[in-house]
Structure 1
Amino acid sequence: MPVLTVAVVEDDAQMREAYRAFFVHRDGYEHVGEAEDGEAAIDLYERTRPDILLMDIRLPRMSGIEATRRICVRHPEACVVALTTFGNYDFIVAALQAGASGYLLKGSDAATLDQALRDAIEGDMPLSPSVRRALVRAVTQKGPSPHGASLLTPRETELVGWLASGLSNREIAKRMFVSEGSVKQYLTHVSSKLGVKSRIQILVRAMNLGIIALDDLPPDQGQAE
């Protein structure tokens, strides 16, 4: 397992200390720095170029969303994962539009956080279950299209179903008995057919088209997510 360098942006000193302890004592990570406001976050990224930058949303001097936007404009390859207590739609959309590679709610257990960060590096865009549901609810209020199901093959529809369950490419590959490379090819084909680019856009578009239903998503789990 490759060692991932991680930097943390958090204005709460106790939370910074907790994250520092987590990454220092957990195998597979190297804690390379921290910042307590949005402006310092940009400098932190420039100095350390971490594999993952954990970014709080509500920060002094500059919001985490604006800091994320500026970092991702300068460095499109940056992997910035929002980790916050704010799970409302406006914050979620703003962070993802700014370039965030994932959106997690604070309170995740160690194993969940570890897997989410690994997923982010692999391009899987980790989202807490309630975050995913907030996005989907907001964009599906118009109701599904009656013609969506015919756009995808049964195998592609199966993949979208596993995607809705929050599985990573590796997990989907195991369920579908194919390689991870095949899963990526399926995702490319589905993205092209639906006219979208990212995994979450596939999910949202599939909901709009009636390919999957809101009930297909994993249940909310509150702060245990």
Structure 2
Amino acid sequence: MSKYTELIPNYNVTKPLFVQHVDLATRPLIDVSSQMQALVSAFDIDIAAGDQLDILGEWIGRSRTVMQPIVGVYFSFDTDNIGYDQGVWQRAFDPDSGFVDLSDEAYRIVLRTKIAINQWDGQNDSLPAILEFATAGSGLSMQIIDNQDMTISVWVFPETSIDSVSREILAVIRQGYLTVKAAGVFSGEVLYPSVGNQFFGFDIENKYIAGFDAGAWETSLNG
């Protein structure tokens, strides 16, 4: 019946009233434990939603509200990249010009990044794992490039093409919420391949850079 009744020795297990008494005394403990586990799991960043994410944001130190209104992301018919499963529904009190409160999907990625920043040791070698954790589920990957002059550049690599990435996520990147950098370092351009998901380059071939007919020129996300 429970982990406690399973501990009853053979002599007593044949006594139904004894087993029922043990179950009656221990069942509330099991129920309370189950409810506490459910409460804790509700604040798992991978499944939390709505108010739970807002509370996580208070603990982590990042609000759902962004500095600048995000425009061009409301759901619309016959408009590329903001149709079904792409656009954000305009809520009752959202301004027509744009919205300032992130959706759960975008906010979850922002919180992941803030967690990574909070735990980062400041070393470039540890950046890849941090960025992989931060961008999980976003449809893109990122690389931080140290320009060796107290500035960094951010390279954004979509899984297929930049058009496949949510405009909300792109706006969040543009505003710097997914940038991991050391204190005192200036964040420069945010660049992405103009076509596909690899930059063009000579004498190098990897997941980020390719040669003719595969790599593309860089385009700035900053505008």
Q: TM-score, normalised by structure 2?
A: 0.26
- Structure with bigger helix share is 1
Q: Which structure: larger Rg? A: 2
Bigger RCO (CA 8 Å, 6+ sep): 1
- Structure with bigger strand share is 2
